[in-house]
Amino acid sequence: MTRKIVLAACKLYHPNYEGELILSGYRHWSDDMHNTYDILEKMGWKVLHTDEAQGFVDNTGKYYTRQEAIQFVKDSGQFYDPNRGNHAKTLEECDIAFSEGFW
C-alpha cells in the first residue's frame, strides 16, 4: 500500500493515563476536530502544547510532525501546494507542512 497523508492531527494527553491520543480532522482545529475535542475535554483530555503536537496522519494511521510531513511530501511526491499555508514558498523552501497545502 502506498502511504499518503490524509488528515491533519493533534496530540492530546490525559493526566491520569500514560501515552497520547491522536485527534484528527480535515484541518487543524476544524469544526470536526473541535466537536470531538469538546467531548474529550469533558473526560479530562487536554491539548499537548509542544512543537510536535500538531501534525498529520497517513492512510495507515502513522503520525507525522509538521516537519516530518513536509519531508514525506518531498520524498514521496505527494501533492502539496506550497503557495497555500507556506506563503508562496517553493516546496524545497518549506520546512513545515500546513493542511492548506494538502487539500
How is the chain split into domains, by residue range? 5-102
As a whole number, mean pLDDT of residues 33-62 equals: 94
Angstrom distances, CA of residue 39 to CA of 45, 46, 49, 62:
9, 11, 19, 24
More confident residue, 58 or 51: 58
Average pLDDT score over the chain:
93
Q: How far apart are CA 67 and CA 45, in angstroms?
A: 25
Beta bridge partners of 58: 5
Burial class (CB in 10 A: 0-12, 13-18, 19+), 67: middle
The predicted model scores a pTM of 0.89
Q: Confidence class of residue 46 from pLDDT cuts 50, 70 and 90? A: very high
As a whole number, mean pLDDT of residues 1-14 equals: 95
